[in-house]
Amino acid sequence: MTQFELNWRYLAWRRWPDLTWSQRLARLGKPLRDLTANPPAAKLVAEIEGRFEVEYLEHINVLAEEDLDFLRENLRHLLGQAPYGTHGTLARQIGVSLNTVSRWASGENRPRPEHLRTLCALLYLPPNLDLYATPLFLTDAPSTHSARLEQVKGWVNGLDPAALQVLYPALERLLKEH
């Protein structure tokens, strides 16, 4: 992720905290491929800087200037992607109470390292992912196994019958290989 992308994602997340990434992108009014281009177009950079009233988005690190708890925001993001009603199951599998998981998400408490490792394993996150330093909450890609499944189901359910007929052999091949 470029510095520009990291900065605009953070500024959009901060400005519109209750929106989804697709809603935030709609507010920006720019296609994701333009916003993630490397390097971004100078005109686009100027427009985004104007929208957020910030200069030098390609060169500064906005996140470094903020007092932001990556772990709390990542936990809030990850637990928000977990299907409704699964927090209790996660808590039992980790060996803590549902209230403890809620306090992690609110930032009131931090999980112990062994609990954090277990949570990451249960959510099928990469074992080397550092939730203290990686702003996972700024990505629009689903982070958890269940969120990825829901996204794939949505894509498949959104296909018209003719498109599914064309894509089916490739999908079958890909999915059977794994």
Terminal alpha carbon distance of the chain: 28
Domain ranges of the chain: 3-65, 70-138, 145-177
Q: Provide the token pair at 33.
A: 């491929």
Label residue 150 exposed, middle or buried (CB < 10 Å: 0-12, 13-18, 19+).
Answer: middle
CB of 120 within 8 A of CB of 111?
no
Q: What is the pLDDT of residue 114?
A: 93
Say which CATH topology domain 70-138 has.
Answer: 434 Repressor (Amino-terminal Domain) (1.10.260)
Q: What is the mean pLDDT of residues 125-151?
A: 85
Q: What is the pLDDT of residue 113?
A: 93
Query: Mutual orientation of helices 21-28 and 3-15 as an angle, nearest 10°?
Result: 100
Q: What is the pLDDT of residue 84?
A: 67
Distance CA 139, CA 74 (A): 10
Q: What is the mean pLDDT of residues 157-176?
A: 90
Question: Which uninterrupted H or E stretch holds 130?
Answer: none
pLDDT for residue 8 is more than 70: yes
Single-letter amino acid code for the residue at 41: A
Helices (H), 53-144: 70-81, 87-94, 98-106, 113-122
pLDDT for residue 155 is more than 80: yes
- Count of H-run helices and E-run strands, the chain: 10, 0
Q: What is the mean pLDDT of residues 27-53?
A: 92
Give the SS3 label for residue 35.
helix
pLDDT for residue 65 is more than 80: no
Give the residue carrying structure tokens 């100027």: 46
Q: What is the mean pLDDT of residues 171-176?
A: 88
Q: Which residue has the higher pLDDT, 142 or 74?
A: 74
Q: What is the pLDDT of residue 47?
A: 93
Q: What is the pLDDT of residue 91?
A: 93
Query: Mutual orientation of helices 42-52 and 3-15 as an angle, nearest 10°?
Result: 30
